[in-house]
Structure 1
Amino acid sequence: MAIDFHSQENRNTYTTRSADHSWTDIIKGLVPIENLSKALDIGCGGGIYAKALSDMGVDTVTGIDFSEAILEGARQNCKEYKNISFQLGHAFETNLDSDKYDLLLERALIHHIKDLSSCFREAFRVLEQGGTYIVQDRTPEDCLLEGDENHVRGYFFELFPRLIEKETERRHKSTVVIELLKKAGFNNIQEVRLWETRQVWKHKEQLLTDLSGRTGRSILYELDDNEMRLLITHIDQSLTKDTNIVEKDRWTIWKATK
C-alpha cells in the first residue's frame, strides 16, 4: 500500500509545512548561503525547502521531482516566489546543464534510490567546481530510536515491528554514503546529526489528525486503515501532554564539495 507519488490525490502531501529554524540554522552553518546564486533542490516534493533556500537568500532555486502531480502542488505552494522554478526529472538524469549550480540539496531523497552511485555522479556533473552538495536522510540508526514525547515516529515501529524491516532496508548506512560520495569525486565530506523540529502542535488532536492523513510520512502508507486507527490510539495513549507538543525527527546530513 505504498504511497503513489504520481496520484493527483497526493499532490499536496508535501506542501503543508514550512522548514523549521532548526534546519535553516544548521544549513547556514554548513553553507555560505549569502554567496550563493543558483541552488538545485532534487526530490523537491512540495517545494518546502526550495522556499527555505530562497528565504535564506539564494538568488534562484530550481526544484526537480519525478512526479508531475507532486510538482503541481509545488508550483502552487511556491506561486509567490518568482525566483523558484520546477522541472520534471530524476536524480540520476536531471536533463540539466553541467557545472551550473553552486548548491545542490537532496533532502529525504536517497532512501528512495538504490543506485546511489548514479545519483551522486549526476550531482557531481551539475554542480560547478567548488559547489556544495547537501544530502539529508535517515540512517537505519536514526530511524529506530524509541518513541517519546518528541520522537513520535518511534511509536510507528514500536506498535508495528514489521515496519522496521521495511524502513531499514531502504535506508543507507553512513559509511556507504561517504564511500560512494568519494568515488563520485566529492571531497571535504562532513557528517552531522540534526534533530529537526517537524512541527509544533498546539493541541494533541492536531497531531493525531495529521497522522490520520499520513501527511508527509510515506512509511504510514504501508499500514491499512484499521492499522492506522490502532496507531492513532496508541500514540494518543502514549503522549501524556495534550498541548505544545514539539515533534522532532533525527536526520543525518552529509556535506560534500566538488
Structure 2
Amino acid sequence: MPMNFHDPDNRTSYTTRQADDAWLKLLAEQVDVHGKHAADIGCGGGIYTLALLELGVKHVAGVDFSAEMLKGAKAHMDGRYPDQVTWLQGNAYQLPLSSNSYDFVLERALIHHLQDLPACFREAHRILKPGGTIVIQDRTPEDSLLPGSETNIRGFFFEKYPHLAKTEISRRHSSEQVISALQTAGFHDIRELKLWETRAVYSSTDALFEDLRSRTGRSILHECTDAELEELVSYISAKIKGSHPIIEKDPWTLWLAKA
C-alpha cells in the first residue's frame, strides 16, 4: 500500500541522509543563494533545508503537508540554525507564505505527488520576488526506467516488478509537462539540467539490503508486501557482483526558472 506520510512510524524516513556534494556544487554554481530568503516546499525531513542553510541562505521557510514530517525535520536539525528556519504545515497549492517575499524556492521530490502542476507553480510564483528563482527536482518517466546497476539500484525494482514501474510512471511528469506548467504559471528563462546524486554508500551488500528492508526514504517500496520485498532483495543480490563499497546514485532532472 502507498506510504502514509502522516504515520508517526515514518517520521524519520526522510531524515537519514545528507545532501550530496554533487547537489551542493550544482546549486552553488547555478544559483546565488547566499544571504537570501528561501522556501523549501515539501521539505520532508529537512535534509535540503539544512543544505540551503549550509550554503549560506539567510532564512528558510520549510513547508510540508505532514505534521509528522515536520517533527522529523525539527529533530534532524538538532538545534542547528534555530533562528534561521521556520517550519510550517501547508500544501503546495495554498502556501502559508506571503507574496513577493522569497528570493529562492526549492521543490525537490515534490511534484510527483501532485496532479495540478500549473496551480503548484503559480503559488511558487506568487511567493517569489520578481526575478526570484525556482528549482524543481524530480524524476521524469525516462529517468525512472533507466536500467538497474550497482549504481542505479532503483532500476532493479522495476525490472523485477513491472507493476511497480507502472505505478512509478503514473506519478511522474514529463519534462515537457513541467516546462509547459512553468510557462503557464508565468516563469521564464527555463533551463533543464541532469544530475546523478549519490544517495548512499554501503560498505557491503548486507548494509544495502538492510536499507531496502527498512524502506527508509523509498516510498515506492511501500507498494511491496514483505514477501515481495524479500524476493526483490534476492533478485538484487544475484545482480550485484562488483566490488565494494556500493555507491548508490539516483538520476534526477532539475528545472530552473525565473519569476
TM-score (norm 2): 0.97
The alignment covers a number of residue pairs equal to 257
Contact 2:88 2:96 in 1 (8 A): no
* Deviates most, 159-168 or 234-243: 234-243
Contact 1:157 1:164 in 2 (8 A): yes
Instruction: Could you tell me which runs of 5 or more consecutive residues in structure 1 were left unpaired when the two chains were aligned.
Output: none
1:126-141 residue pairs with structure 2 within 5 A? Answer: 126-141=127-142
Measure the CA separation in 2 of the matches of 1:236 and 1:59: 45
Does residue 26 in structure 1 map to residue 30 in structure 2? no
Contact 1:199 1:246 in 2 (8 A): yes
Over the residues paired in the alignment, what is the CA RMSD in angstroms? 0.9
Measure the CA separation in 1 of the matches of 2:81 and 2:200: 23
Partner of 1:247: 248
Partner of 1:143: 144
Partner of 1:111: 112
* Deviates most, 111-120 or 238-247: 238-247
1:17-166 residue pairs with structure 2 within 5 A? Answer: 17-34=17-34, 36-78=35-77, 79-82=79-82, 83-166=84-167
Measure the CA separation in 2 of the matches of 1:56 and 1:199: 21
Contact 2:198 2:250 in 1 (8 A): yes
TM-score (norm 1): 0.98
Query: Partner of 1:252: helix, strand, or coil?
Result: strand
Measure the CA separation in 2 of the matches of 1:145 and 1:67: 30
Measure the CA separation in 2 of the matches of 1:33 and 1:46: 21
Contact 1:198 1:247 in 2 (8 A): yes
Measure the CA separation in 1 of the matches of 2:121 and 2:132: 13
Contact 1:204 1:241 in 2 (8 A): no
Measure the CA separation in 1 of the matches of 2:33 and 2:63: 20
Task: Summarize deviations over 1:11-65 as a string: whole Å, max 9, x none.
Answer: 000000000001111111110122x421100000000000100011111111000
Query: Partner of 1:103: helix, strand, or coil?
Result: strand
Measure the CA separation in 2 of the matches of 1:241 and 1:249: 18
Task: Summarize deviations over 1:123-157 as a string: whole Å, max 9, x none.
Answer: 00001111100000000000000001100000000
Measure the CA separation in 2 of the matches of 1:62 and 1:210: 30
Instruction: Could you tell me which runs of 5 or more consecutive residues in structure 2 were left unpaired when the two chains were aligned.
Output: none
Task: Summarize deviations over 1:94-126 as a string: whole Å, max 9, x none.
Answer: 121000010100000000000111100000000
* Deviates most, 103-112 or 198-207: 198-207
Query: Partner of 1:98: helix, strand, or coil?
Result: coil
State the identity as a percent: 47
Measure the CA separation in 2 of the matches of 1:71 and 1:29: 29
The one-letter code of the counterpart of 2:165 is I
Q: Which runs of 4+ in 1 moved over 4 A?
A: none
1:242 shift after superposition: 5.6
